[in-house]
Chain A
Amino acid sequence: MDRIIVHSPGLLTTVQDEGRYGYQRFGMPVSGAMDIFSFRIANLLVENPVGSACLEATLTGPEITFDAPCMIAITGADMRPSLNGKPVRNWESVPAGKGDVLRFGAIRSGCRSYIAFSGGIDVPVVMGSRSTYLRSKTGGFHGRALQKGDFLSLSLISSNSSFPVKNKRLPDRFIPQYVKNPVIHVIPGPEVDRISFDGIRSFLISEYRVSPQCDRMGYRLAGPPVGLKTENPDIISAGISPGTIQVTGDGQLIILMADRQTTGGYVRIANVALADIPAVAQMKPGDTLHFREISMENAQKLQAERWNAAFSSVTK
């Protein structure tokens, strides 16, 4: 049963879930939502099972019509969503009726919006996940971004016409603010000892700008180069984890994101703390950021504090 009709897809709208785990040893990227925090909150707001598939819209949102009622929740970037012309707020669940039209306007903050539908989007599970990996056209909706005229079905509950009708909201204090020039916490990486003193200094005190070369795979940053101690900038190819920051031969930085390749041959200077990956995911070309060092233990505490409290405020 079709539940959603796509009238216009937006710049890049894909089906995503928590990611495709278990195949990185074969070179398969994880993919999944870039901003896992917003993604999880969206699912919780419509009382979906953990990891249900949502839409991830980039910079401009889609226009969609519902051909059956469901609950929706929009989180992440503020793209001025409206239902039948009436504004709806981010970070809360709202009912959508048959024939209702969801539209988005000009982006106000952030870069990526998550749209959760009660029941979750029903696309085939490929290698354990509904995520879209665009480069190999795997998973999601036929392995591609949404296009005009697509029909998406929701896994319900579909035999049962009831769905949670309770409006839920993420309390204001947990709503992330996508500020200008945010501080991004970083944990020293496996090859930090290959970076020169001046290189470390540049990395930690300079402002870096997200360059136009940024996508779901990674963000190239523009800013003062980070120098290495050695002539040879390469390492023996090795694994890349969430938020790995690479230093290329000419000292440029790349933050690796959801569609990151599983292995690489550049020096791994640091990792963005999990708690701050969502903030990076919400940055667009031209935005600036600063790095601040944090210990691995404190990074884990930061994530647990920020996320667990927010998650339980919505589930109770």
Chain B
Amino acid sequence: MNDPMKYLPSGDSAIIIKTGSDISANQNIKVRKLLYGIEREKINGIVDFIPAYNELLICYDPLEISFRRLLDTLYLIENKLDDIQLPESRIIRVPVLYGGEAGPDLDEVAERNRLTPDKVIEIHSSADYLIYMLGFTPGFCYLGGMDERIATPRKAQPRLNIPAGSVGIADKQTGIYPIVSPGGWQLIGKTPLRLFDPARDPVFLFSPGDHIRFYAIGEEEFLRISELSEKGSIFTAHQ
């Protein structure tokens, strides 16, 4: 289905291009193509972008570029959207120490779904998850593609301090906490990778459109990779 794109102002310094009304990989590809195509043009007055599931928010400075002119430029880019070739999507392997202190809710997730903990790990680490978008906190990825056999409701009592790197499940979603935060996700493991490190280049490990593939590691490997991560290594590049 090729719905026409909708252009909506979001205040007097942002415009939204909506590609559709649901969550699908196709809508999301259009969002990324728009972002890629617009960014390439280096339009004066555009200050930032927020790509989401099915819309792209473009922040601009109205003292630099008029809404009219911006709109005309965006229409031109939309018309050429089919010609835009996105760079190939990366698959980034993410090591996870499942269960134990790193994943205190692994057993609960298993019990609620009548699975063994090992089976939960097997299911969780056998899919490629598309990063639809990032948001909520620096580096938090909204992932698609989790197997519903391990879907689990959030905890009744949210935790106040979830350590950075924790891997969790909330309903039909899985995700990684990039920074220490409160939250109600069921924690099944922890990655030694740093998703967000302002002192490192790149600051963020993941970009919208990448895929994440989890794999299980043991405690020793967790410590080895942690040490590298603390030194600013992105590690994923070395796998």
A-side residues, CB < 8 A to B, are 21-30, 126-127, 135-136, 138-139, 187, 189-190, 236-244, 261-264, 268, 271-274, 296-297, 299-300, 303-304, 307-308
Picked from A22, A26, A28, A241, the residue with its CB within 8 Å of the CB of B14 is A241
What 10 pairs across the A-B complex have the smallest Cβ distances? A271-B11, A263-B135, A239-B57, A239-B50, A241-B14, A299-B12, A27-B134, A238-B52, A26-B204, A241-B10
Give the residues in chain A near B10, CB-CB below 8 Å.
Answer: 189-190, 239, 241, 244, 268, 271
A29 to B10, CA, bound (A): 17
Closest Cβ of chain B: how far from A154's Cβ, in Å?
23
**What are 7 A-to-B residue pairs whose CB atoms are below 8 Å?**
A21-B48, A25-B50, A28-B204, A262-B50, A264-B135, A272-B11, A304-B63
Interface of B is mostly: loop
Give the residues in chain A near B140, CB-CB below 8 Å.
Answer: 27
Give the residues in chain B near A308, CB-CB below 8 Å.
Answer: 63
Q: Are B207 and A239 in contact (CB under 8 A)?
A: no
Asked whether B174 is an interface residue with its Cβ less than 8 Å from the other chain, the reply is: no
Asked whether B163 is an interface residue with its Cβ less than 8 Å from the other chain, the reply is: no
Asked whether B13 is an interface residue with its Cβ less than 8 Å from the other chain, the reply is: yes
Give the residues in chain B near A241, CB-CB below 8 Å.
Answer: 10-11, 13-14, 50, 57, 59
A127 to B49, CA, bound (A): 15
Given A135-B137, A138-B198, A237-B135 in contact, is the A297-B67 Cβ separation under 8 Å? yes
Asked whether B142 is an interface residue with its Cβ less than 8 Å from the other chain, the reply is: yes
Q: Which of A22, A26, A189, A303 has the most CB of B within 10 A?
A: A26
A26 to B178, CA, bound (A): 11
Chain B 138-153 per-residue mask, 1 if CB under 8 angstroms from chain A, else 0? 1110100000000000
Closest Cβ of chain B: how far from A136's Cβ, in Å?
5
Asked whether B105 is an interface residue with its Cβ less than 8 Å from the other chain, the reply is: no
Q: Are A27 and B59 in contact (CB under 8 A)?
A: no
A135 to B164, CA, bound (A): 13
Q: Are B11 and A239 in contact (CB under 8 A)?
A: no
Give the residues in chain B near A30, CB-CB below 8 Å.
Answer: 48
Q: Which of A135, A139, A237 has the most CB of B within 10 A?
A: A237
Give the residues in chain A near B57, CB-CB below 8 Å.
Answer: 238-241
